[in-house]
Amino acid sequence: MQLDRRKFLGLSAAVGATALLAACTPQQSAGSGGGSAFGNLPDYTPVNGPTPDIAGDLSKDILDVFTKFPANPPTLVSDVPGDGSEITGVIFISDAGAGPSMGNNAFWKNANEQVNAKLNLTSIVQGQDSVTKVQSLIAGNDLPELVQFDLKFPQLSGVLPAKFTDLTEFLAGDAVKEFPNLAGIPEQYWRGASFGGGIYGIPLVFGRMNFVMQTRADIFEKMGLTPSVSNKQDFLDLCAALTQPSANRWAIGNARGTLNYAKEMHGAPSVWVQDAGKFTHTWETDAFVDALSYVRDMWSAGYMHPDSFAGNTSLEQLFAGGTIAMSGLSSIYDMPYYLENYTKDFPELRIAPMAPPEYEPGKTIKTGYPGVYSLMAIKKTSDKERVRMLLRVLDWFASPFGSTEYLATRYGVEGVDYDLKGTDPILTSQGINETKVQLQFLARSVDPLYVAGRPEAAETLDSYQRQVAPFLNVDAAFGLQSATFDRKGAQLTAEMTDAQNAVLQGRRPVSDWKGIVADWKKNGGDAMRGEYEKSFAAAPWN
């Protein structure tokens, strides 16, 4: 048979594409897409750690509050977790940049000693860099033992069962008690690690409250305003009073955070909402359209900073510098973060969170997110003892706040990486540099709210979380499987975000939104709904 150039190229492309697809396609038993099979998730057993100043309840999304680091941190893991061998892994890099390599890093070497292992970790920028790297490692069959996965990793529900260990027999039900710190991760977080009937990773967990509307209490006070609203008009009045472009001040920045607060004020759900097994996306609700219209008016009235649609890059600087008086794109942890990092340069800085008003008499909604930042998966192996050892190491890293293990995973070595101020550990410049290697990304417990030395700020934050936690609304599709979302979710979301921004900026009329949503439904929205409903029917938490 003669093979001309065109046929040869065509054949090569077909062979290449098939091989790639085969590498990334799940085995039949993985059950991706249908989501008909779910295994048991680990039982939740709270860890008996140090006593907080104000006790929370993770099962109700209320975090513990500490105003100082415990004076005599207990050691919670009594056995040495590692076996002295090398553990390879890929973890994300923080925004603070790359840290020193293991040989020049006392913080890292100390962790190695504590767990009795050589943690040979490669740090990669999260997002496309990490996807490219991990895809290459998969294709080269060169995976390290531990891989940190973004939940948006392409075809994650296929990749995990195909290439990584199912941890069900080690973690499901009360088996997790062998790893007490992992058992301290509540069930709602494990949903994100459940794929095709197995548990394929340790979720990296955080408090689930985000999109907290933070206000600059010092600016409010100076202007005689109160960071509190009881209806939608109150908020607009507040924005009008705060906006003074001639004084380089706008009420608010970042369109996404603003729209989210408007959604809360109008009663629109976070993402997907489930009612009697039927799923509806927030984009389909009338409340969302009202919120769009509301923010569009805010933009045209000039209440929003001109960079509000330019991403989040400068949001932190704008808020800390007082150019914007409110920031809606914040997690519950941001207030301590700002106080810790900016009060040196801005001693006047004071922050107060502002709860959303009722959208109807007696009805409130507060957006949350699933609280799972990523998954730490273990490469597929039949060596069960090795898996147990790796889980013991991850369990050590998941030790809660206030323990000696926590000090080692976040602060390093006393006198080198941190010094004690009272009982609070303060990172030295060497510590700041060395802890850029995010060993805590291997595994962690849900952090409490730690507002060092500021009992009044701790109380403010605690009263806020108790006020809104009962109304926390988290994406109902979290942990459910949708092949359509895996395949087209990112593209569809990007298209909807573009359309949403066009409406908010006045480039398209609000009346277009109905047609935009109809297109989304036709292009995959309805397919996702069907898959989520089917998956929900089989979910153990249903």
Partner 1 sequence: MTTLSRTRQSSPLARRVWNGSWKSVVLVLSCLLVIIPFVSVVATSFADQRQITESGGFVLWPTHPSFAAYEAVLSGGVVLQSLAVSIGITVVGTAISVASTIGLAYGLSRPNALGHRPLLMIVLFTLLFAPGIIPSYLMVQYLGLLNTYWALIIPVAINAFNVIIMRSFFMDIPQELLDAARIDGANDLQILLRIVIPVSKAVIAVVALFYAVAYWNSFFTALLYINDTSMWPVQLVVRTFVVDSTSVSAEVPVQPGQTTPPQQSLKMAILVLSVIPILCFYPFLQKHFSEGALSGSIKG
Considering only residues 83 to 102 of the shown chain, the ones binding partner 1 according to CB under 8 A are 92-101
Tell me: does residue 226 bind partner 1 (CB under 8 A).
Answer: no
Q: In this structure, what are the phi and psi dihedrals at residue 477, rounded to the nearest 5 degrees?
A: -85, 0
Nearer to partner 1 among residue 197 and residue 400 (C-beta): 400
Which of 109, 118, 133, 487 is the binder for partner 1 (CB under 8 A)?
133
Nearer to partner 1 among residue 33 and residue 99 (C-beta): 99
Reading phi first (left if > 0) and then psi (alpha if -120 to 50, else beta), residue 97 is in left
Contacts of 453 (CB under 8 A, 6+ apart): 67, 68, 422, 424
Nearer to partner 1 among residue 45 and residue 493 (C-beta): 493
- Inter-residue contact 214 to 353 (CB < 8 Å): yes
Tell me: does residue 440 bind partner 1 (CB under 8 A).
Answer: yes
Contacts of 292 (CB under 8 A, 6+ apart): 259, 262, 500, 503, 504, 510, 513
- Inter-residue contact 378 to 164 (CB < 8 Å): yes
Distance between CA atoms of 469 and 456, rounded to whole angstroms? 20
What residues from 178 to 207 belong to the interface with partner 1 (CB under 8 A)?
204, 206
Tell me: does residue 489 bind partner 1 (CB under 8 A).
Answer: no
Tell me: does residue 6 bind partner 1 (CB under 8 A).
Answer: no
- In whole angstroms, the minimum distance from the beta carbon of 441 to partner 1 comes to 7
Nearer to partner 1 among residue 172 and residue 451 (C-beta): 451
- In whole angstroms, the minimum distance from the beta carbon of 422 to partner 1 comes to 18
Distance between CA atoms of 37 and 40, rounded to whole angstroms? 10
Nearer to partner 1 among residue 102 and residue 510 (C-beta): 102
Which of 165, 438, 473, 481 is the binder for partner 1 (CB under 8 A)?
438
- In whole angstroms, the minimum distance from the beta carbon of 432 to partner 1 comes to 5
- In whole angstroms, the minimum distance from the beta carbon of 161 to partner 1 comes to 21
Place of tokens 């291997």: 442
Return the beta strands (E) in 243-371 as ranges. 250-253, 272-275, 278-281, 324-327, 351-353, 366-367
Nearer to partner 1 among residue 6 and residue 363 (C-beta): 6
What residues from 10 to 29 belong to the interface with partner 1 (CB under 8 A)?
16, 20
Tell me: does residue 433 bind partner 1 (CB under 8 A).
Answer: yes
Q: How many residues bind partner 1 (CB under 8 A)?
A: 72
> Taking CA 77 as the corner, what is the angle to CA 426 and CA 181, rounded to the nearest 5 degrees?
85
- In whole angstroms, the minimum distance from the beta carbon of 438 to partner 1 comes to 6
The 3-state DSSP composition of the chain as helix, strand, coil percent (nearest 5) reads 45, 15, 40
Tell me: does residue 309 bind partner 1 (CB under 8 A).
Answer: no
Nearer to partner 1 among residue 197 and residue 479 (C-beta): 479
- In whole angstroms, the minimum distance from the beta carbon of 127 to partner 1 comes to 3
- Inter-residue contact 27 to 160 (CB < 8 Å): no
Place of tokens 């940049």: 97
- In whole angstroms, the minimum distance from the beta carbon of 214 to partner 1 comes to 10
In the three-class reduction of DSSP (H, G, I as helix; E, B as strand; rest coil), residue 487 is classed as helix
Select from 126-134, 153-161, 272-280, 516-524 the region that touches partner 1 (CB under 8 A).
126-134
- Inter-residue contact 391 to 182 (CB < 8 Å): yes
- In whole angstroms, the minimum distance from the beta carbon of 118 to partner 1 comes to 13
- In whole angstroms, the minimum distance from the beta carbon of 79 to partner 1 comes to 26
214-300-291-357 Cα dihedral, nearest 10 degrees: 40
Tell me: does residue 150 bind partner 1 (CB under 8 A).
Answer: yes
- Inter-residue contact 446 to 333 (CB < 8 Å): no
Tell me: does residue 427 bind partner 1 (CB under 8 A).
Answer: yes
Which of 128, 230, 246, 382 is the binder for partner 1 (CB under 8 A)?
128
Contact flags string 444-473 toward partner 1, x per CB under 8 A: x-----------------------------
User: Angle, nearest 10°, between helix axes 286-301 and 255-266?
Assistant: 130
Which of 272, 333, 396, 450 is the binder for partner 1 (CB under 8 A)?
333
